[in-house]
Structure formats: C-alpha cells, structure tokens
C-alpha cells in the first residue's frame, strides 16, 4: 500500500509539474509575443523582431539572463520599456483603467481648479510693478469709536511733507458722474486720483499715456483714463477712442489712454480723472478744511522699509497734527495711523473661504487615492499568477516594484490630463464666485504654475496609490506557481490594509459632508431671515443727478417730485418712491451724531440717517408700527419731522414712546420731531443686525444721488425700459443705472454663501460617491475571494440570511469605526468654518446626526449588493470551482 501510494503521489507530482510547465510555457509565449510587437513597432523586420525577442525570452534560463542583462540597460530605455508594458497592461483591463482614471480625474481636477484660485489670489504677487511695496494708509481713533477715518486734503499734504518712509503718497476717492456725448447719457463710476497714482503702482497704460503733473494743475484741460473693462464693455475695445472728447460736469474731457486689465481697489471704476478735474475735490473750501474728509491714501514704501517702520513714521505725523490742531483731534482721542499691506487688503475677505475649499478638494483627492489604492490591491489578487511568472523568469523585486509604480504613474497622468479638462470647464464659475470676495478674480487661469502643481499631484498620487500595491507585490514569488487553485487567498495583512483604507474613506467623507451640511444649514437659515421688507415685484434703479444742472435744492426737489408724479399714473405701477438708498444695496451709511432733547449732550448718540420720499415704506412694505408716515405736506417750509426704526426707538428711548420726542443734528439750533416708528430692515445684509435708523423726508434734504423703488403689478423688469423713457422725457441727459429687481438684489446679497455651500456640497457628493463605490467594490472582491468559505458554510447548514448578515456586519463595523473617527476629526476641524456660518454652531447636533445617517445609509447600501450576491451562492457550484 505504501508503494502504491508513493506511486500515485509521484504520478500526481509529474502531472502537476507538467501542468505548471505548460502554464509557464504559455506565459513565456505571451511575453514573447509582446516583445515581438514592440520590436515591430520600432521598425524591425519580422525576422529581426523574433530574433531579438527570443534572445530576451529564449527559455527560463536565458530569460533570467535577459533580466539580469536588462539591469545594465540605460535608465531611459528601461523606463520606456516599463511605460510600454504598463500601457499594454492597462489597455487589457479597460474597466479598471476607466474607473481609476475617472476617480483620479475628479480628485485631481478639483484640486487643480481650486489651486488655480489660491495661486492667483493668495500666492502670486500683485500684478503691479511696485505691488510688494504698496500699502494702504489708514488713520482713526478706535477707542473713540472711529476705527477708520478718511483723509482731508490738509492731512494728505502733512503726510507727504513730513514722512521719511515713502517714495510716494497718492490719494484716491470714487464718485459717480454723468458722461455725455454718446447715444445715451451714461453714469460712470470715476476714480479721482493724484496725477502720479498709476506711476506709484508701476502701471503703464495699454493705449495712450498716463497722467502727468501738468494734468493736475489748476485750470488744466480735463483728461480721462478708461479702465480696460469699461473700454471693452462700452467701446468694444475700439483703439480710436484715445483723443476723443466727452462732456462731463459741464466740461470737455479728453480720453488720453486705456489702462491694462488690473484688479481695482477699493472700488471698481469705469474711468479715472486727476484731482483738479473733480469739482468737489478741487473746491477751495474743501481743500482748506482739515475736517472735510473723503479720500483714501496709498503709499509706495521706500526700498528696505518695513510696515512697522512706516506705521511708526505715520503715527509721529498724526501726533504732531493732534498737538497743532487740538480742536480737530481732541486730546482724549487715541488717534493713530497705520500702513497695511495692500496685498493683504485685497485678499483678506477671500483667504478663509479659499483655504476651506482647498482643504475640501484635498479631502476629495485623499478619498480618490484610497479608492484607487483599493482597486490596485484588488487587481493584485488577479495578477498574482502573472507576477509570480515574472519572478520565475528572473524579475527581481525592485524590477516588479518599478513596473507597478510605472503603471500607477500612467493612471495618475491620465487622471491629471482629464482632471485639467474638468478644471478648465469649471474655471469660469470659480472666477464669478471669487469676484465676490476679491478684485483679483480676473487673474485666475490655468498657467504654468497650475500645470506644475497638477503634475506634482499626479506624481504624489502615483506614489501613494501605487506604492501600496507595489509593496504588496513583494510577497509574490515563484512559490505562487505551486498553488493548486486559480484563486488566491487573501492574507490578513492585506485585509487589514483594505479595512484601513475603507475606514479612512468613511472618516474623510464624513468631514466633507459635515462641512457641506453646516454651510447648507447656515444658508437655509439665512434664506429664511425676515429682511423687514417685501422684495417681490419691486423695481430698483440708481439716479445720480448732474450737479451742474441740479445745483439747488429746489431743482433737485422738482425733478424727484415730477418723476414720481408721472410714475404713479403709469399702468402696472402700484406705487413709487425714492430714497437715498434701498435695502441690501451695500452702500455705506450716512452716520451722524445728534442731540436728544432733554438729555446730556456730553456724549452724543450716533444714528444712520436715511432720506426718503412719502410712499417709501408703503412701496417696500415696511410696517408702520406707531405714529404716521411722511406726507407731501412735510415740506421745507414746515417743522422738520423724522421717523425712527424699532431698534433706534428701543435703544434711545427704552420703554418710552418716541413719537413726539425731538432730536437735533445741529446742537439744538433746529429741532426735528419724531412722528412715527417703522419696523427694522436688514440694510447691510441678511446676516447683519438692524442699525439705529432715522428717516427724514427728501423734501427737507434733496440729495444728488437717490434710488428709485417702484412696486409693480407685473414682472418688474418688463416695464423697466418704459420707466427709463419717462426719465428721459423729464431730462434727456439723466441716465439710470443698476436697473434690477429687488428680488435680484436680495439673491445677490446671499450669492456668496450660496455658492460656498454649493461648492462644498459638490465636493461632499463626489467624496460620498467615490467612497461608496470603493466600499462596494472592496466588499464585492471580498465576497468573490470567500466564495469557497461561503459555499462550505452553506453546505453545513448556514441560511442565506446568516450569510447576508455576516457580510453586512463586516461593512457595518468598518463604517462605524470610520464614523467615530470622522466625528472626532469634525469636532476640531469644523471650528474653521465659524466665521462662515450663520446661526449654526460648528458642532450642530442635528447636522452631525443627519450626516452620519446619510453616510451610513450610503455605505450600507454599497455593501448590500455584494452581500445579497453572497447569500445567493450555490454551495455545489462554489465547491466544484475550488
């Protein structure tokens, strides 16, 4: 019996040896054919191609020599061979290649797009020749409640004459003027600047010339520089506009040049003029009055001067002024001046948001890497036979490692290329989004730096996702050829690695979903804020009167009254009114101190004064809480009256009824009686508290610039042109600007948080989809590798529901661990979002529970399909396959 058994074992061994030799021969023949194809592509004849291939793969021993010889080949040739073989292997697995490339493209594309924003906005130097030396100069008395005070002409002259830190100090302010001489009058935002303003920045015109010193002399011909955006928008980029003349402020202005496309700060202007061309800035009274402030100041620091040195220099100058003019700068005020980096000022509103988005994109990339790594590990199971054959043919561990890294690099490179396509297509949306935070949005594009970043990300991804699989391949050797099964079993180490990757995907997905959930909750709360008015069916437009024509109160009053009387009778118009501003327009308040009758005037209260016409509250549906509205009988020849909002009434009069009380804005010379109280309005943003507001009739204070608000019975924009025609009938030279519905204004006011929530939500959905696909894929692979085990379990009596519970249990454990880690990470990281949230805490319990439930459902749904397939395994078929 022993002899017979030994005989059978020997015959079995010979049979298995013959089978292994046959499989090895087939593998060698496959490699031989690959090399012949490569040689034919390189231009060899068929005979030469086969001869060279046989030299490399003439048999096991000669092939071992070939592999040894190949180590001595030039690095480039070896790398090219690896690339060719890697590309061939990826072509043979189109499903794996497509999924991996698409997954990486989503991760790399998101990072490339966001990095293009961060690079342009936060990393690049300013696009001015002297950008790094430019500063914004500020002055104020923070402890006295004046943190930022504009500059007067005498103050600017003091700073220029006494400073030792600047090569130039230039002034700036912006005003709206009317440009005549075209088909229709046009309201243009005009930057009023020192003649050397653009020289200080190092900006040269695209066409024509810049301002010269002679342009700022009193009586000099008025000249204009057009901004690039206005030139393209209004003149279609016509180069002949230089030297053309237009009328503005009753003077003829000559266009002398066009500026290049540059970020404008602090305002987006259409044209620029020198200070002497501005009728308000050049007024002798203003030039002599140290308290008449309306300008901003920019400085060009001398080389080597720091911000601290410049600030100390500025402080010494304003302290000298405080000693010389104690009536202008009270000794009790802690006056000071500061030099602030212009680059920081241009990007300070965008920094937090951009970094949050970059972090979100980075998380998406991490999840994509984990997913592709799991795909690679799954693929390694199917490639065990191939890798073992290559090891048997003489390929060393380093050689296999390098080959697998090369394949991973090809995947990452293809993903990066497709990701750049995705990034380019999404860039216009990002530019529009970023423009709400910084004027540097126009600099965003895919440049060489972004391409290098993308390439670097591709290399990093290939190292991260490929190294794990390549290191895993080091366990494959010729011993794998001795396995009697076509399926390989998975080791404990590899199983743990896959589990770690799944847990990481769940945890990072949770972080992204929490960020998106918090932003969404914040946006929904913001959207449901009661603004204090009804924006539905309200048309708005801005009117800036020509001060040379409407140079008296009576003329301005007559224009507004004539226009409103005409509009009230128009079909489709329910009511019309005018006000100095309207809600959410973003204009600075007209704050002023005042005296309350019967109160100590040592410390005067401050309120936001607003000028409106009768019908303003009715048009915007702002509720009248007490007293009466303004009427047409409230004229300049009657006792002045005012209406306060609820916040002002409560703050200044407490529980007393403010109706009938009196205030004064001229220290008691004239008293204004409070005749009503209206509801609070969110003037400066839905996320901002109502301020202390005091409304006065426009008839008492007819302003130069006002906003028209029209309540309509139809869609507001449908009658906009008709209303503009009525304006032209009253004054053909009076333009209307910013024509839009109040609903558009309201939507625009929350556009930034809406887009932030949308972007974070997009990243979170990408992460969720990638993670769910990864979990489902790994569970499916696990089921396929445990087919024999499942067959045995079912053969000995296990029910399908028990198999289903077993597989789902594995997914539940991994998902639960990932959620726990995600919660711990989110508790710390979500505090970064604190400044972006509205009425939502960074650890909002409802968001955490909701996100956890969504992620758990997605993960378990991904596990259910392979679990159900496992429960349907036929034990007879499973055991027969083994």
In the block, tokens 């005012």 appear at: 642
Tell me what pLDDT residue 31 has: 62
Quick one: which H or E segment has residue 88? helix 75-91
Please give the structure tokens belonging to residue 172.
């700036």
Distance CA 190, CA 184 (A): 18
- Alpha-carbon distance of 252 to 250, in angstroms, equals 7
Place of tokens 């036979």: 385
Pairing label, strands 538-544, 245-248? unpaired
Q: How remote is the C-alpha of 358 from its chain's centroid?
A: 9
Question: Quick one: tokens of 246?
Answer: 């237009």
pLDDT at 209: 96
Of the candidates 753, 377, 739, 409, the residue with the CA atom closest to the CA atom of residue 582: 739
Cα dihedral sign for 782, 403, 368, 416? negative
∠ CA 537-543-548, nearest 5°, is: 165
Residue 122 DSSP class = I
Least confident piece of the model among 18-22, 819-823, 843-847: 18-22
Q: Look-up: residue for tokens 């390439």?
A: 455
pLDDT recorded at residue 281: 93
For residue 472, pLDDT over 90 is answered with: no
Q: What is the pLDDT of residues 697-756, one digit of tens each?
A: 999 889 998 999 999 999 999 999 999 999 999 999 999 999 999 999 999 989 888 888
Q: Among residues 247, 225, 227, which one has the least CA distance to residue 237?
A: 227
Nearest-angstrom CA–CA distance, 159 and 315: 10
Residue 794 pLDDT > 80: no
pLDDT at 27 over 60: no
Residue 326, burial from CB neighbour count under 10 angstroms (0-12, 13-18, 19+): exposed
What's the pLDDT score for residue 452? 92
Side-chain-side CA neighbours of 722 within 13 Å: the count stands at: 16
Give the pLDDT band of residue 45 (cuts 50, 70, 90): low
For the segment 310-315, the average pLDDT, to the nearest whole number, is 95
Place 624 in a pLDDT band, splitting at 50, 70 and 90: very high
pLDDT digits (tens, 9 = 90+) for 263-298: 999 889 999 999 999 999 999 999 999 999 999 999
Mean pLDDT for all residues in the chain = 83
Q: How far apart are CA 258 and CA 227, in angstroms?
A: 6
Other Cβ atoms within 10 Å of 324 Cβ, number: 11
């Amino acid at each position: 019996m022993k002899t017979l058994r030994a005989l059978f074992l020997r015959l079995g061994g010979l049979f298995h040896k013959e089978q292994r030799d046959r499989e090895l021969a087939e593998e060698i023949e496959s490699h031989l054919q690959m090399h012949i194809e490569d040689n034919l592509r390189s231009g060899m004849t068929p005979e030469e191609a086969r001869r060279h291939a046989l030299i490399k793969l003439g048999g096991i021993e000669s092939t071992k020599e070939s592999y040894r010889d190949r180590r001595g080949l030039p690095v480039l040739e070896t790398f090219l061979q690896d690339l060719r073989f890697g590309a061939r292997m990826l072509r043979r697995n189109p499903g794996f290649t497509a999924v991996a490339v698409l997954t990486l493209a989503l991760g790399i594309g998101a990072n490339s797009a966001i990095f293009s924003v961060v690079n342009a906005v936060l990393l690049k130097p300013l696009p001015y020749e002297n950008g790094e030396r430019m500063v914004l100069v500020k002055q104020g008395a923070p402890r006295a409640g004046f943190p930022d005070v504009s500059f007067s002409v005498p103050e600017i002259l003091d700073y220029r004459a006494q400073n030792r830190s600047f090569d130039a100090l230039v002034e700036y302010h912006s005003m709206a003027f009317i440009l005549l001489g075209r088909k229709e009058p046009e309201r243009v935002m005009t930057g009023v600047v020192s003649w050397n303003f653009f020289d200080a920045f190092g900006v040269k015109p695209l066409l024509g010339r810049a301002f010269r010193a002679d342009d700022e002399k009193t009586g000099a011909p008025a000249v204009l520089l057009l901004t690039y955006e206005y030139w393209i928008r209004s003149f279609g980029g016509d180069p002949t506009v230089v030297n053309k003349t237009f009328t503005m402020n009753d003077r003829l202005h000559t266009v002398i040049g066009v500026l290049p496309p540059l970020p404008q700060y602090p305002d987006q202007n259409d044209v620029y003029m020198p200070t002497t061309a501005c009728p308000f800035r050049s007024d002798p009274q203003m030039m002599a009055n140290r308290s008449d402030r309306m300008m901003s100041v920019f400085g060009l620091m001398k080389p080597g001067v720091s911000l601290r040195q410049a600030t100390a220099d500025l402080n010494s100058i304003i302290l000298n002024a405080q000693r010389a003019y104690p009536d202008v700068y009270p000794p009790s005020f802690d006056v000071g001046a500061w030099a602030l980096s212009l680059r920081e000022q241009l990007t300070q509103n965008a920094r937090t948001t951009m970094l949050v988005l970059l972090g979100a994109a980075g998380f998406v990339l991490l999840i994509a890497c984990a997913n592709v790594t799991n795909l690679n590990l799954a693929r390694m199971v199917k490639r065990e036979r191939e890798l073992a054959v290559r090891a048997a043919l003489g390929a060393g561990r380093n050689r296999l490692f390098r080959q697998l890294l090369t394949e991973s690099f090809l995947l990452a490179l293809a993903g990066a290329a497709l990701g750049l396509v995705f990034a380019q297509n999404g860039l216009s949306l990002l530019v529009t989004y970023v423009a709400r935070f910084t004027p540097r949005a126009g600099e965003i594009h895919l440049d060489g730096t972004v391409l290098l970043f993308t390439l670097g990300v591709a290399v990093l991804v290939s190292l991260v996702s490929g190294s794990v699989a390549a290191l895993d391949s080091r366990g494959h050797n010729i011993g794998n050829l001795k396995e009697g099964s076509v399926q390989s079993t998975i080791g404990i180490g590899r199983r743990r690695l896959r589990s770690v990757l799944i847990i990481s995907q769940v945890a990072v997905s949770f972080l992204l979903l929490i960020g998106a959930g918090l932003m969404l909750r914040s946006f929904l709360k913001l959207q449901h804020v009661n603004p204090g008015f009804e924006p539905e069916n309200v048309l708005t437009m801005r009117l800036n009167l020509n001060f040379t024509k409407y140079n008296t109160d009576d003329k301005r009053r007559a224009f507004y009254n004539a226009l409103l009387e005409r509009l009230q009778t128009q079909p489709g118009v329910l009511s019309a009114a005018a006000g100095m501003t309207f809600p959410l327009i973003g204009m600075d308040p007209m704050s002023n101190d005042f005296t309350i009758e019967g109160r100590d005037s040592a410390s005067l209260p401050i309120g936001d004064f607003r000028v409106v016409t009768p019908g303003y509250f009715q048009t915007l549906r702002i509720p009248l809480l007490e007293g009466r509205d303004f009427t047409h009988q409230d004229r300049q020849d009657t006792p002045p009256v005012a209406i306060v909002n609820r916040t002002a009434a409560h703050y200044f009069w407490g529980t007393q009824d403010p109706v009938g009380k009196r205030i004064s804005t001229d220290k008691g010379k004239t008293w204004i009686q409070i005749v009503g109280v209206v509801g609070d309005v969110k003037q400066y943003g839905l996320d901002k508290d109502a301020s202390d507001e005091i409304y006065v009739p426009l008839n008492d204070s007819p302003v130069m610039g006002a906003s028209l608000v029209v309540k309509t019975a139809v869609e507001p924009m449908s009658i906009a042109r008709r209303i503009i025609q009525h304006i032209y009938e009253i004054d053909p030279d009076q333009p209307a600007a910013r024509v839009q519905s109040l609903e558009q204004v309201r939507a625009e006011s929350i556009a930034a948080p809406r887009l932030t929530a949308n972007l974070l939500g997009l990243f979170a959905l990408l992460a969720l989809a990638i993670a769910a696909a990864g979990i489902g894929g790994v569970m499916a692979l696990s089921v396929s590798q445990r087919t024999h085990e499942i067959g045995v379990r079912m053969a000995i009596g296990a029910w399908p529901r028990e198999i289903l519970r077993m597989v789902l249990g594995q997914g539940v454990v991994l998902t639960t661990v990932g959620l726990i880690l995600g919660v711990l990470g989110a508790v710390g990281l979500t505090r970064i979002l604190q400044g972006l949230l509205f009425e939502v805490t960074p650890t909002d319990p409802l968001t955490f529970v909701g996100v956890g439930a969504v992620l758990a459902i997605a993960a378990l749904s991904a596990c259910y399909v392979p679990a159900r397939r496992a429960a349907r395994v036929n034990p007879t078929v499973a055991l027969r396959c083994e």
